[in-house]
A and B are shown apart, each in its own frame.
Chain A
């Protein structure tokens, strides 16, 4: 029996069992729109009167489970620090490398700037209205960072270097991560529990609905956008170094 046949024989029962398990699980799900989780229904009922936020998801993320979110934010921070540490000595692009990675097309530049502006605007909107409409700091931060990456893709590494410098990004990332913790500690100092909403629930439907929650939301938006950009910078540097070395070989 060939190797391939043996692998198939081993894989088939396992795949069949997995498929059966998934089908069994899916058949027991409640139909769409008929969620039966008690916790979810309870939060849906109390989030608007208690926190004045029309987006219950963001109220859960930054208030009812605010400590979990702080952990998530610090995990992202630690992960990015890990990537930067791992790649620290694997070759940084020299000024000559940077000069060689250029995009010539003017049309591409125009579309790139328009695309980047649109994506960044969507990101800021997602973050700003995080407590009113679907969205929030995490989603907004990711969209903002992707908008900035479009600049690299359409204008080359030199333009990227003007926007995304370590000097600017590292303090921003640290500020985003520490602002969340600081808001929690501020509540503690004032005698309330950690992460207590100091500013009150705010007015429903405004950008300030949720009070302190809107500040936490912006802290996360800043942290996520900066962390993603630090990450992209590291990978783009690797790419530019490899690209220039390839060209040197030819």
Chain B
């Protein structure tokens, strides 16, 4: 279980790093964040997993999207 989750996280991180379009990258980083949430649960850190869930799906994409929108023009 631990090995499978770690491999998934490694694949997710590679996908985020290899993606060149910032908008797709945000979506990918959200999915990568959800993989990290699973990893935290597997490692018995449910509180960190819950706050990661909030940060990775709402807070982080919001801030990055706003910054991209503002700087592109």
Interchain Cβ contacts within 8 Å, total number = 69
Q: How distant is the Cα of A136 from the Cα of B47 in the complex, in angstroms?
A: 8
CB-based contact B50/A153 at 8 Å = no
Question: CB-CB contacts of B21-57 with A at 8 A, as 1s and 0s?
Answer: 0000000000000000000000101111011001101
Contact size range, B: 20 to 34
**Given A32-B2, A235-B66, A138 and B45 touching (CB < 8 A)?**
no
CB-based contact A239/B54 at 8 Å = no
CB-based contact A143/B51 at 8 Å = yes
CB-based contact B62/A236 at 8 Å = yes
CB-based contact A242/B73 at 8 Å = yes
Q: How many residues of A contact B (CB 8 A)?
A: 31
Closest to A239 in B: B66
Question: CB-CB contacts of A71-99 with B at 8 A, as 1s and 0s?
Answer: 00000000000000000000000000000
CB-based contact B59/A149 at 8 Å = yes
Taking the nearest CB of chain B, how far is it from the CB of A61, in angstroms? 11
CB-based contact B50/A126 at 8 Å = yes
Taking the nearest CB of chain B, how far is it from the CB of A143, in angstroms? 5
- A/B interface sample: 30 pairs, CB < 8 A: A119-B58, A126-B47, A126-B51, A135-B50, A139-B47, A139-B48, A139-B50, A142-B54, A142-B59, A143-B54, A146-B54, A146-B55, A146-B59, A147-B54, A149-B58, A149-B59, A153-B62, A228-B59, A231-B63, A232-B63, A235-B63, A236-B66, A238-B69, A238-B70, A239-B66, A239-B69, A239-B70, A242-B70, A245-B73, A246-B73
Given contacts A139-B48, A153-B58, 8 further A-B contacts (CB under 8 A): A135-B50, A138-B51, A139-B47, A143-B51, A150-B58, A232-B62, A235-B66, A242-B70
Question: A: which residues have CB within 8 A of B?
Answer: 32, 57, 119, 122-123, 126, 134-136, 138-139, 142-143, 145-147, 149-150, 153, 228, 231-232, 235-236, 238-239, 241-243, 245-246
